[in-house]
Amino acid sequence: MSLSDLLMVISTIFIAAATVVNVGVAYKMWEEMHTGGVDTHDLAAAAKAQAEAAKTIAESSKKQAENIASLLIIAGKQAQAAQDNVVAIQREMRQDQRAWISVDVSEKPGWFTVSMHNTGKTPALNTTYVAGFIAGKRGTVPKEDFTKSNSSMGWPEKKLTVTGYVIAPNASQVASDWHGKFADIYKSDAERTYIEGRITYDDVFGGHHETLFCYWYSPPSEFVICNDQNKME
């Protein structure tokens, strides 16, 4: 074999070896690229699954928050209802236990009397009383402002005012009494004579109350409750 043939053989072997190496390298690169694509797809799928799981958790948390908010609203309404119920029970208890002042105007033999009665279950405190005779007409009840001085009222010359009474439960207190008949005490040519007055008092629970009363004189000795100007609060 000549030298030129030997060199040709060696060159051919070298080229063949290089080709094998290139093919191996190319295959390796293709394999890595393919494997890498699979890994990237898996990562993307995993990321999508995590995002969907996070969305599900977020939606569940939102729903739970809405449920808790609804429960808090319901609890708040129940607490308010319970508080309102306590207040209502307390108010009813106080209404049942508090003092209530009513008035009686009467003429007993030889006496004309205005009496206050506590029909409640606890004392009436700081009781004040003002009253007067008023000349008027039939069917028209005079409306007097007992918080102000008024010259149209008298006993028979002026108003009578007393303060500071404490009236026990189921007890009475004479506010004013006059010896003699009413017709002799208060002489008037008016169509009708009215006896009107105002009582204020406190109950033991700190409430302040007012009683307005009105009677008219029916000779010879009767006193009739007016159809107006009577109030108990």
Q: Are 174 and 113 in contact (CB under 8 A)?
A: yes
| Fold (CATH) for 98-232 | Immunoglobulin-like (2.60.40)
pLDDT at 148 (0 to 100): 60
Dist. CA 17–CA 72, nearest whole Å: 81
- Sorted by where each begins, the domain ranges of the chain are 1-97, 98-232
95 contact partners, CB below 8 Å, separation of at least 6: none
The bridge status of strand 124-136 relative to strand 160-167 is antiparallel
pLDDT at 125 (0 to 100): 93
Q: What is the mean pLDDT of each run of 10 residues along the chain (233 residues)?
A: 56 55 54 57 66 70 76 83 84 87 82 87 90 80 67 44 78 78 69 86 93 87 85 87
Strand, coil or helix: 184: helix
pLDDT at 94 (0 to 100): 82
40 contact partners, CB below 8 Å, separation of at least 6: none
Identity of the residue numbered 27: Y
Determine the distance from the C-alpha atom of residue 119 to the mean position of all C-alpha atoms in its chain, rounded to a whole number: 30
Other CB atoms within 10 A of residue 111 CB: 14
